[in-house]
Amino acid sequence: MTVKKICCIGAGYVGGPTCAVIAYKCPGIQVTIVDLNQARIDAWNSDNLPIYEPGLEDVVFARRGKNLFFSTDVDKAINDADLIFVSVNTPTKKTGMGAGSAADLAYVESATRRIAEVATSSKIVVEKSTVPCRTAQSMRTILEANCRENIRFDILSNPEFLAEGTAITDLFNPDRVLIGALQTEEGLKAQQALVEIYTHWVPIERVITTNLWSSELSKLAANAMLAQRISSINALSAICEATGADVDEVAYACGRDSRIGPKFLKASVGFGGSCFQKDILNLVYLAEQFHLPEVAAYWRQVVIMNEYQKERFVHRIISTLFNTITNKKIAVLGFAFKKDTGDTRESAAITLIKDFIQEHARVHLYDPKVEHAQIYMDLIEPGVADSKAQVEKHLTICSSAYEACQDADAVVVVTEWDEFKDTHLDYQKIYDSMHKPAFIFDGRLILDAPKLRKMGFKVEVIGKHNLAGTA
């Protein structure tokens, strides 16, 4: 089967960039990305895309209106397509059975039922969202129960392995493309059709074909193992601070071991993003459902360590500032969960600012890409702050790092944006504008601490024993 038309249901962080790149690399295939959110589709059709990713604008603007389209007409796109990506949100459930760990598959089920209801010809349906193992079976059951004469649905799993901030680079030159299928004649034919799309630009040796369930579990497993490495080095960072070891030196020494390698051994205030915590909790829930409590406890500890790292950093800030930050001005640099993205999901900044507000500090925040409305939305969520009035009383969103740091008692670097490095910002200017003693807390290990100390800063760096102001 040759795929000529693709539909992607869901215009978010996965569906938008992924299918835009497919359109870019496969000009002979028509790609339509659909979403029920009119404002989001309008943004995709404008000059101000709803997602910030380096290189994304170039890809979208090159193909939009040619073989790349954005629409709210879901039914037409489904009917026209040969292959349909289901790329909707799968948040962690907040209530009901499995709350706090299980994925909420309501959007996946809704999209699957929509396909079954409106399709008038056979389709390849590709599970693109990150989902618990065996979700494809539920999708298959729904589709088969609604099959009509001469219409069949083949299910594939094609998880994404994108890192936000480098998504376009990852899509152009992926480590691997994983495609899972039922091991039937029809399933293997559908799998090959998707293989042929990716091999327009991906070397065939990087395209891995597996059974359906291995593909689903591989996505959760990969993210869990990456998050585990971060939590491991963060656990060691606490020991480094207590013993006088330097976490950068420890990470470098460990990373030189070819069996370990250097990647994901950078200590920080904690990991965030849409995938790591959600996928680990999915794995925890899966283990619990299969009565594997020791396995569930093992993976849950990765999340516990991540939360501990945030709490530990806040405690270090408060204790260094003479055990109180009441009415003190804290400049927070960064709100996105990592640099080169506007995504704030599970960002460490949310937890830190929540704690600062509860301690009655005056928080002045600057982030170069996160919209003000998103910041307030994240901080006013239940359990984060009592009300918008409380947040607005304690939080000021600034237009530059210099504005945020003016008259501050302390500067806290939370996101590793390049512009926050001491090679980009004039920290002497910042020091001169601050209350004295001027404290700076580096939660991302991006600053030259000795250089800042020479200016007069009292510097605290995560994973390092240095007491504020010492050499």
| Residue bearing tokens 């100390």 | 453
Domain encompassing residue 283? 245-471
- How many separate domains does the chain show? 2
Question: Is residue 276 in some structural domain?
Answer: yes
∠ at Cα 278 (254, 88), nearest 5°? 130
Q: 363: which DSSP letter?
A: E
Same domain for 346 and 405: yes
Question: Is residue 228 in some structural domain?
Answer: no
Same domain for 249 and 191: no
Question: Is residue 387 in some structural domain?
Answer: yes
Question: Is residue 211 in some structural domain?
Answer: no
- What pTM does this model have? 0.88
Same domain for 130 and 262: no
Q: Report pLDDT for 155.
A: 92
Q: Which residues are annotated as a binding site?
A: 10-15, 35, 40, 88-92, 129-130, 160-164, 219-223, 259, 266-272, 275-278, 337-338, 345, 444
Residue 127: its H or E element? strand 123-127
Domain final position from 202, 228, 260: 202
The CATH code of the domain that includes 467 is 3.40.50.720
Domain final position from 202, 233, 258: 202
Q: Report pLDDT for 455.
A: 97
Question: Is residue 281 in some structural domain?
Answer: yes
Same domain for 264 and 195: no
Q: Which residues are annotated as a binding site for substrate?
A: 160-164, 219-223, 259, 266-272, 337-338, 444
Question: Is residue 96 in some structural domain?
Answer: yes
Any catalytic annotation for residue 275?
Answer: yes
Q: Report pLDDT for 266.
A: 94
Q: Helices 372-379 and 348-358 meet at what angle, rounded to 10? A: 60
Same domain for 266 and 184: no
Same domain for 249 and 144: no
**Distance of CA 54 to CAs 45, 129, 154, Å?**
18, 22, 34
Q: Report pLDDT for 470.
A: 42
Question: Is residue 447 in some structural domain?
Answer: yes
Question: Is residue 454 in some structural domain?
Answer: yes
Q: Which residues are annotated as a binding site for NAD(+)?
A: 10-15, 35, 40, 88-92, 129-130, 164, 275-278, 345
Question: Which has the closest alpha carbon to 172: 58, 338, 51?
Answer: 58
Same domain for 262 and 144: no
Q: Report pLDDT for 469.
A: 42
| pLDDT < 70 regions, the chain | 91, 102-103, 130-134, 382-386, 466-471
Same domain for 403 and 258: yes
- The distance from CA 247 to its chain's CA centroid, rounded to whole angstroms, is 24
Same domain for 367 and 308: yes
Q: Report pLDDT for 362.
A: 97
Q: Report pLDDT for 88.
A: 87
Same domain for 187 and 279: no
Q: Pick the catalytic residue: 19, 275, 398, 405?
A: 275
Same domain for 132 and 260: no
Same domain for 250 and 184: no
